[in-house]
A and B are shown apart, each in its own frame.
Chain A
Amino acid sequence: MHPCLLRTWMELREILKKVVLLGDGAVGKTSLIARYVVNKFDDKYIATIGTKVSRKDIQVVKPNLIINLRMMIWDILGQKEYSKIRSASLSGAQGVILVGDLSRPETVQSMNDFWLKEVERAVGKVPTVIVGNKMDLAAKNSMGSMLLDSMGQKFGYPTMICSAKTGENVEQIFTALGELLVADVVASTPKTKEKAPQTLAEVVDYIVQDFCAQYGDLEKAMLIIQHQFQDAGVDIRKPKKEAVLQALDGLAKAEELSLTKSVARVNLEERQRMVILSKG
């Protein structure tokens, strides 16, 4: 057997977490996430109903375990007066991104004096990342930066500085919080090596199962597979490599939307390799 056909099977988990974005008004909370999350609603909803929900998918890889982490980001109005709406939105939060403006040290101080207390009161101690935004407007040793560092040390939360304007470090904020959110998740099955599918029909069967498992929604996943197989002319009883390879491109495009581009690319390459090496 070709060595590539001995695949180490990784456990795959789908985990959903509620994350709340907090901080004073105009510190750049909404701008910070705007380009990095899936937005389906206009920002005006923050002003009208006090909240806007968007989502960020990341992948966390651990030994024998791939976690597809979906963070539902609740961007909440920064005005401190709206306490009732804020409490309702904070309810059930499993993670927090606390944002201050480095060019306005009072907003960083406010995280210490107000926002952290609000979070503790509503949901207790949850994974939190303290962020200093607008690093492009503040010097490295500015008052805001120093306050941020001392807060991190005091509460034991990671601190990061970033710029929503340039995009510097923004992606890392989600990665850092994501890793904290799934810090206690470990693989439930021991590392095993299984015999991989060998014939093209077995490979196709594996791909269908794998796509459905990663997509999450079985019904939708099957419809996508059916559509892509039909377009590529894949006969499920007697598949041809060329047709299957063509269908894989379509499946990868669907995964780009439902998972992430990098996951879709890894899946595509792995599936292409399995198809090419298969018998028949």
Chain B
Amino acid sequence: MMERDIKIETLIVMSLAIFAVLAVVAFVIPFEDTSTKLFFVGVVAALTAINVYGMFMVWHSSPTIVDEVFLMTPNGMLLKHYTRRLRPDQDEDILAGMLTAVQNFIKESFDSGGRLNEIRFENYDILISHGQNVVIAAIISTKKPERLRDELKSATADIEEQFGERISKWSGDKRELGDVDAIMKKFLSGKYRR
């Protein structure tokens, strides 16, 4: 948890400062003997190593950024759509339908009874989590989609538990959906992260 609290910007500034000190130590300060000089260079080198390790840890623990989330019924009806970007030419209802149509096609083609869990396209990953009455598809453009899978599964389970029955009888009236936003916002803000 500790490394998540340190911002990458802070580490970059710290790195630059340490490199500057290293340069000063190595080339500007006139040390009387070599061993003293080597001692200071060693201290600065150790600090640099710690800093590089810290940067790696921050990169490693950085959250996967979700670009878009489609909350749908298994029949391809869009219940809610959340996005970080405005795409005027995109029709989320049609996209949700086509996403389901593609899943149907793959499922029937393989005739395995399984379900499509992930689609990869260039920089995009579409992770799909299936509940009995609800399907959540998350589009991400950052690396490490495997981290999101458990979060998506937890959010799906929570929606299923709280709204599953209501969604199974949903008439199409958006007022009848209930406050699914609360769970989805929890998911989008990373509160399902462990």
Q: What 0/1 readout, one digit per residue, does chain A (46-82) give for beta carbons within 8 Å of chain B?
A: 0001111111000000000000001010100000000
A interface size (C-beta, 8 A): 35
In the assembled complex, how far is the CB of residue B188 from the closest CB belonging to chain A, in whole angstroms? Answer: 12
In the complex, whether A276 has a CB less than 8 A from a CB of chain B is no
Q: Which stretch from B3-11, B30-38, B172-180 is at the chain A interface? A: B172-180
Contact of B94 among A38, A89, A93 (CB under 8 A): A38
Measured CB to CB, the nearest residue on chain A to B107 is A88
- A54 and B98 CA atoms in complex are apart in Å by 9
- Smallest beta-carbon distance B137→chain A, Å: 15
- Most chain A CB within a 10 A radius of its CB, from B77, B78, B94, B95: B94
- Residues of the B chain whose Cβ atoms lie less than 8 Å from the Cβ of A72: 76-77, 93-94, 97
| Chain B positions within 8 Å of A18 at CB level | 75-77, 172
Given the interface pairs A18-B76, A223-B86, the reply to whether A85 lies near B98 with Cβ below 8 Å is no
* B174 with A40: CB separation less than 8 A: no
Distance A257 CA – B91 CA, assembled complex (angstroms):
10
A94 part of interface (Cβ distance < 8 Å):
yes
10 example contacts (A-B, Cβ-Cβ < 8 A) are as follows: A15-B171, A16-B77, A16-B172, A18-B75, A40-B91, A52-B101, A53-B94, A72-B97, A84-B108, A92-B75
Tell me the bound Cα distance from A51 to B100 in angstroms.
10
> CB < 8 Å: which of B74, B76, B174 contacts A53?
B76
With A14-B173, A53-B101, A185-B173 given, can you name 12 additional A-B contacts, CB distance below 8 Å? Answer: A13-B175, A14-B175, A18-B172, A49-B101, A50-B105, A51-B105, A53-B76, A55-B94, A91-B74, A92-B75, A92-B77, A219-B83
Interface residues of A (CB under 8 A from B): 13-18, 38, 40-41, 45, 49-55, 70, 72, 74, 84-85, 88-89, 91-94, 185, 216-217, 219-220, 223, 257
Tell me the bound Cα distance from A220 to B97 in angstroms. 21
Minimum Cβ distance to chain A for residue B162 (Å): 21
Known: A41-B98, A53-B97, A85-B104. A92 touches B175 (CB 8 A): no
Closest approach, in angstroms, between the C-beta of B1 and any C-beta of chain A? 31
Q: Which residues of B sit under 8 angstroms from A74, Cβ to Cβ?
A: 76, 97, 101
Q: For residue B149, which residues in chain A have a CB less than 8 angstroms away from its CB?
A: none
Collect the chain B residues with CB atoms within 8 Å of residue A54's CB.
Answer: 94
* A141–B91 CA distance with the chains assembled, in angstroms: 42
What's the A-B contact tally at a CB cutoff of 8 Å?
Answer: 85
Q: What's the least CB distance linking B107 to chain A, in Å?
A: 7
Complex-state Cα separation, A57 to B90, whole angstroms: 16
**Chain A neighbourhood of B75, CB < 8 A:** 18, 91-93
Query: Bound state CA distance, A38 and B90, in angstroms?
Result: 11
| A123 (CB) vs chain B CBs: closest residue | B75
Q: Mark B51-83, 1 if CB is under 8 A from A, else 0.
A: 000000000000000000000011111100101
Q: How far is the CA of A41 from the CA of B75 in the complex (A)?
A: 19
Q: Is the CB of A92 within 8 A of B74?
A: yes
- Whether A92 touches B105, Cβ cut-off 8 Å, given contacts A14-B174, A15-B173, A40-B91, is no
Given A14-B174, A216-B174: A85 and B94 interface contact (C-beta under 8 Å)? no
Q: Which residues of A contact B174 (CB under 8 A)?
A: 14-16, 216
Give the contacting residue for B108; candidates A13, A16, A41, A85; CB below 8 A: A85
Q: Is residue B102 contacting chain A, with contact meaning CB distance below 8 A? A: yes
CB within 8 Å of A: which of B136-170? none
Q: Which residues of B contact A220 (CB under 8 A)?
A: 86
Known A-B contacts A15-B171, A15-B174; A55 and B91 likewise in contact (beta carbons under 8 Å) = yes
Instruction: Provide the residues of chain B in CB contact with A88, threshold 8 Å.
Output: 104, 107-108
Chain A residues near B101: list those with CB within 8 A: 45, 49-53, 74, 89
| CA gap between A89 and B93 in the complex, in Å | 15
Q: Which chain A residues lie closer than 8 Å to B175 at the CB level? A: 13-14
Report whether A85 and B173 are in contact in the complex, using a CB–CB cutoff of 8 Å. Answer: no
User: What 7 A-B pairs are tightest by C-beta distance, nearest first?
Assistant: A92-B75, A53-B97, A88-B104, A49-B105, A51-B101, A84-B108, A16-B172
Q: Which residue of A lies closest to B111 (CB)?
A: A84
In the bound complex, do residue B97 and residue A94 qualify as a contact, i.e. CB atoms below 8 Å apart?
no
